[in-house]
Structure 1
Amino acid sequence: MSTATSSQTSASQPETTMTDFAPATVHAPGRIARIWNVARLHLVDLRTYVGIPWIIVGTAFVITLIISVIITYSTGSDPNSPTALVGQRYSWAVLAPQWYLIVVAVQAIGMTFPFALGFSVTRRDFYLGTSLLFVMISAFNAVAFMLLTQIEKLTNGWGIGAHMFNALWFGVDGWWVDLLTFFSMQMFIFFLGASVATIYMRWRMPGMLVFWVSLAVLILGAAALITFTSSWTAVIAWFTAQGIAGFFSWLFIPTLFAATCGYLTLRKATPKN
């Protein structure tokens, strides 16, 4: 009787096999996910990419306001008068964070690349993720600076005739030109710094020496060629004819060149202590 009962119980239970205990298949993240993870890896420290640059902007802004008040008071002129405004348009304070961001680009390669390789990130995914970061930060800064430029114009220099953002070539044409110029300039700075960092990662000091000497020879050679052919007038006329938007649009070409060279160099780079 017990044998029959045992047989019935066994028959009523489903048969258990080893496949029932097999772990679920773990799918590796796709290319887009891996690239996005690299960008997120950089943004773990927001101070480097957002915090410190905007602290620099804020400091330059406060200094600009103080200088504007001093100029207005010492000249005894209306803060919105042409006399009080014209000189301040040559302020370079608007470019204050750019010098720091080129260091950020160098650090993005020099400091994060060895760390990322420890997580089995490929060189291609790392460079594409870093490039995505550069595009995002450039776009964010371009929109922010464009809006601040327009606000500064609408408020006649924050009510005291100050020129922090509406200076140099910014604010001369439409808002879209300011957006273009900020974005193209930021992208150029990022990829220039990144490409220099990849040269150091690949060839160390000998590579840096060759790079800087070659760059100096190229610049001096171009200047000598223009001088000996008496072409400075034609060169200046060509740049003038491009306008602000045209000139900064051409800047995308050396940016693309630097980005390509940086990628090709990083493919063979090996982090060293």
Structure 2
Amino acid sequence: MNRVLSTARVQLAAWPSTLGMPWLVLGGAFLVNLMVFALLDTSGEDAFTGGLTTFYAVMLVAYIITMTHYFPMILGLSVTRRTFYLATCLMALAQSLCYGAALTMLELVESATGGWGVSLPFFGVEFLQQSNVLLQLLAYAVPILLVSFLGMFFGVIFKRWGVTGMYILAITALVVLGGLAVLVSWRRWWGEVGAWFVDQSSLSLLAGWPALLTLVLAAASLLMLRRATP
């Protein structure tokens, strides 16, 4: 365990970019939206903004960089692949919980101030809102964890098979998703698919299914990392 914690601390050596960049990008998106809503009278309108998605996008990129840049460096310090993987998982889990808690606090402030005084629904997006603080934390934290492991998954594929592997992954995803779309259209199942999503609670879509997908990505990343070359 000490070895895992030490490896995690090595990954924090460049903490301004590792920890600060997601908040820097999110802060920029928030300021832009705040200025727009301050200039426009949106009171009484069903206004919304997708600025929060920038945070998840940066987390995805951050963990791709972790696997493609930190992996070779840390293995050069005589750290095993298993230790590196566990340390990265620990980092992802800790970041997700801390960032989820921070976003929950910001959502509470936003709600208390009437959308920062300008009716801006930046953190309190309607689909994300839950009935209590704990569920709200999960609604923020689990998707962060999912995109973190998705970044790890993409990064491991790149380290294992290079650009060719990324092209094969993209083509496979296109064929599978396109095939499913054709099948659903042929069988006229779009109504049933839409009904299934409508029947799901927002928490199951934000935390339940993403948590299951995260476990699948975690297992796949570990299997591929065993043969990945620095």
TM-score, normalized by length of structure 1? 0.80
8 A Cα contact 1:188 1:252, kept in partner: yes
Query: Does the residue aligned with 2:128 lie in a helix, a strand or coil?
Result: coil
Post-superposition shift, 1:236?
Answer: 1.1
Alignment of 1:27-42 (within 5 A): 32-42=1-11
Query: Does the residue aligned with 1:163 lie in a helix, a strand or coil?
Result: coil
Structure-2 residue corresponding to 1:234:
192
8 A Cα contact 1:153 1:171, kept in partner: no
Structure-2 residue corresponding to 1:17:
none
Distance 1:133 1:158 in 2: 31
Structure-2 residue corresponding to 1:203:
161
Structure-1 residue corresponding to 2:70:
112
Deviations 1:85-112, CA, capped at 9 Å, x for gaps: x21xx20011222212111111111101
Distance 2:52 2:169 in 1: 29
Structure 2 regions of 5+ residues with no counterpart?
A: none
Structure-2 residue corresponding to 1:150:
108
Structure 1 regions of 5+ residues with no counterpart?
A: 1-31, 73-78
Structure-1 residue corresponding to 2:32:
63
Deviations 1:128-159, CA, capped at 9 Å, x for gaps: 10010011111111001111111111111122
Distance 1:214 1:175 in 2: 39
Aligned length: 229
Distance 1:225 1:162 in 2: 41
- The code of the aligned residue for 1:236 comes to G
Q: Which has the higher contact order (CA 8 A, sep 6+)?
A: 2
Distance 1:136 1:117 in 2: 22
Distance 1:167 1:268 in 2: 41
Residue identity over aligned pairs, in percent, reads: 29
Distance 1:107 1:173 in 2: 36
Structure-2 residue corresponding to 1:139:
97
- The code of the aligned residue for 1:205 comes to V
Structure-2 residue corresponding to 1:253:
212
Structure-2 residue corresponding to 1:28:
none
Mapped pair 1:129 → 2:87: yes
Structure with bigger gyration radius: 1
Structure-1 residue corresponding to 2:14:
45
Distance 1:167 1:210 in 2: 35
8 A Cα contact 2:130 2:139, kept in partner: no
8 A Cα contact 1:64 1:163, kept in partner: no
**Residue of structure 2 aligned with 1:213, choices 145, 149, 171:** 171
Give the 4+ runs in structure 1 shifted more than 6 A: none
Deviations 1:151-209, CA, capped at 9 Å, x for gaps: 11111112222221112412354333321121111111111111111111111122222
Structure-2 residue corresponding to 1:16:
none
- The code of the aligned residue for 2:14 comes to D
Structure-2 residue corresponding to 1:160:
118
Distance 2:108 2:19 in 1: 21
Pick which of 130-139 and 220-229 moved more.
Answer: 220-229
**CA-atom RMSD in angstroms:** 1.4
**Residue of structure 2 aligned with 1:179, choices 127, 137, 156:** 137
Structure-2 residue corresponding to 1:265:
224
- The code of the aligned residue for 1:251 comes to P
Structure-2 residue corresponding to 1:15:
none
8 A Cα contact 2:149 2:218, kept in partner: yes
